[in-house]
Amino acid sequence: MEGVVQCAPAVPVRATRNDSLRAQRASVWLAIAIVCLLSSWYFAAVIAPVALGSNAPTVWRGLFPEWFGTREILLQGRDPYSPQSTREIQIAVYGKAAAAGGEARNQHRFAYPVFFAFLFFSLAVLPFWAAQLLALAGCMVATAASPGLWLRHRSFGLAGPICVFVFASYPVVLGLQLRQPTLMVAATLAAAYYCVRSERLGLAGILAALSTCKPQLAIAVLLPLSIWSIAQWGARKRFLLAAAGGLGGLLLASELVSRGWITHWMWTLKAYAHYAGSAPPLADLLPGRLVVPGAIILLAAVVGVGCKYRDQDLLYAVSFSIAAFQLLFPFQIYNEVLLLPAALWLANHAGEIKFRGQLHALLYYCTWIVLGVGWAATIGLSLANLLAPGAGLTLWQLPLLTAWLYPPAVFATLALCALPAWNRFPARTRVLGQ
């Protein structure tokens, strides 16, 4: 009707105020995340190299063995595990080959299965300076995409701060410094999980097969996903069939390219276990005679949690498995990037965990305190070093110590959540940032 003005419906004052509070909170967290990001990179680029001396991480140590081994396979047609290949890598990294029986040091062997070269073939055709730039770009894009893949791109107001916090974590910083393929594999596993939850099971299986180029990382995610698939075989078999078919194809192609490579690779892994990383955290936490029984209990717990929560909360089952395998394999800081889904799950279920009781709340807060102390340490050391050059070397080990403490803290919290009493309380799940 003419002359009648249509008024837009009024926006509730409370909703407007809540939106304003969310925006303010996101801005505060973003500012904190940026400070943590700057301090972490300053620590990694300025303080840690001086403190570590000849053991400081460099791109030559992190990417050169992979680049050289890939070229040996695809361009030269040679065995990447041979003593000659290892010697050439060591000369490039150290300036000389490692002497037999000499000082214990990272031998920098090519320790990946042959089909690693198929996934990273683009590195082989480039000179090393270009390959490391491409690897850096790929690692950054993959890392930025990972939070959204684990959370299936659900909208939450803290997406920006979370992404910055991820890049501010020392495992990610170290992985980027080294151009570590771990970052790419972690993102591939995140994509496989996303495809599973999106019912794209064939694609999820192919991604799962590709991720096995780092089997010690892949098993932590693929084990609960396999349990999920087997539980309803008729509807979910495409995942495991695609994964098995993809892995079989990769193994066959590897054998055609490099005959007998599996035997050579196994010998390389045996040597790798003696020089790469430190002992598994479980070996440091338990007396020697209890390590094997403890490992068996952890594996049984992973299977049990996977069976129980496969439909109720698959992300929890995956997070629990990742945290458990972090305790079982040799400690490498950059491998902690795979704990991202566990951190996201804990943040997304804060209300449920704290509602359980004081012990649950205590362990929950401990996981964040460990992270906070690590960032506080990098901030303090960076400021001290800027004000008085060299002062940052006083307690430079503290950020590394918190990195070692984080996997046990996460596992303890997740393990407590697996107890039967967890189901006695109503769900209070919230979306991050809301």
Rounded CA separation 197/123 (Å): 31
Token representation of residue 316: 């929890």
Model confidence pLDDT, tens digit, residues 374-426: 999 999 999 999 999 988 888 899 999 999 999 999 999 999 998 865 444 44
On whether the CB atoms of residues 378 and 32 are closer than 8 A, the answer is no
Q: Is 236 contained in some domain?
A: yes
User: In the structure, what pLDDT confidence band is assigned to residue 15 with cuts at 50, 70 and 90?
Assistant: low
pLDDT of residue 3: 47
On whether the CB atoms of residues 65 and 197 are closer than 8 A, the answer is no
Question: 276 or 238, which is more confident?
Answer: 238
Question: How large a percentage of the chain has pLDDT more than 70?
Answer: 87
Token representation of residue 12: 């509730």
Q: Is 358 contained in some domain?
A: yes
Summarize the confidence of residues 98-125 as an average pLDDT.
Answer: 77
Q: Which of 239, 211, 173 is nearest to 37 (CA)?
A: 173
Q: Is 17 contained in some domain?
A: no
Model confidence pLDDT, tens digit, residues 174-196: 999 999 999 999 999 999 999 99
- Which residue matches tokens 């008024």? 7
pLDDT of residue 12: 57
Q: Is 2 contained in some domain?
A: no
On whether the CB atoms of residues 170 and 378 are closer than 8 A, the answer is yes
Name beta bridge partners: 29: none
Domain count, the chain: 1
Q: Which of 121, 136, 16, 139 is nearest to 67 (CA)?
A: 121
Is the pLDDT confidence value at 34 over 60? Answer: yes
Summarize the confidence of residues 95-112 as an average pLDDT.
Answer: 66
pLDDT of residue 432: 42
pLDDT of residue 427: 44
Average confidence score pLDDT of the chain: 87
User: In the structure, what pLDDT confidence band is assigned to residue 108 with cuts at 50, 70 and 90?
Assistant: confident
Is the pLDDT confidence value at 95 over 90? Answer: no
pLDDT of residue 76: 87
pLDDT of residue 2: 47
User: In the structure, what pLDDT confidence band is assigned to residue 97 with cuts at 50, 70 and 90?
Assistant: low
pLDDT of residue 98: 61
Question: 272 or 101, which is more confident?
Answer: 272
Token representation of residue 167: 């890049």
Taking each helix axis as running N to C, give the angle between helix 314-328 and helix 181-197, from 0 to 180 degrees, rounded to the nearest 10: 150
On whether the CB atoms of residues 360 and 206 are closer than 8 A, the answer is no
Model confidence pLDDT, tens digit, residues 329-351: 988 999 999 999 999 999 988 88
pLDDT of residue 45: 92
Summarize the confidence of residues 219-242 as an average pLDDT.
Answer: 96
Summarize the confidence of residues 352-372 as an average pLDDT.
Answer: 90
Rounded CA separation 251/206 (Å): 13
pLDDT of residue 419: 81
Helices (H), 43-178: 48-52, 59-71, 83-94, 116-119, 121-124, 128-150, 159-168, 170-178
In one-letter notation, the amino acid at residue 338 is L
Summarize the confidence of residues 219-235 as an average pLDDT.
Answer: 96
Provide the residue count of the chain: 434
Q: Is 391 contained in some domain?
A: yes
In one-letter notation, the amino acid at residue 83 is P
Summarize the confidence of residues 83-99 as an average pLDDT.
Answer: 79
Q: Is 1 contained in some domain?
A: no
For residue 286, the enclosing domain spans: 28-98+105-424
Is the pLDDT confidence value at 6 over 60? Answer: no
Rounded CA separation 399/147 (Å): 23
Name beta bridge partners: 278: 331
User: In the structure, what pLDDT confidence band is assigned to residue 434 with cuts at 50, 70 and 90?
Assistant: very low
Q: Is 234 contained in some domain?
A: yes
pLDDT of residue 17: 66
The 3-state DSSP composition of the chain as helix, strand, coil percent (nearest 5) reads 75, 0, 25
Model confidence pLDDT, tens digit, residues 271-322: 777 766 578 899 999 998 999 999 999 999 999 999 999 999 999 999 999 9
pLDDT of residue 160: 85
pLDDT of residue 250: 95
Summarize the confidence of residues 361-369 as an average pLDDT.
Answer: 93
The CA-CA-CA angle for residues 27, 30, 34, to 5°, reads 140
pLDDT of residue 39: 96
Q: Is 433 contained in some domain?
A: no
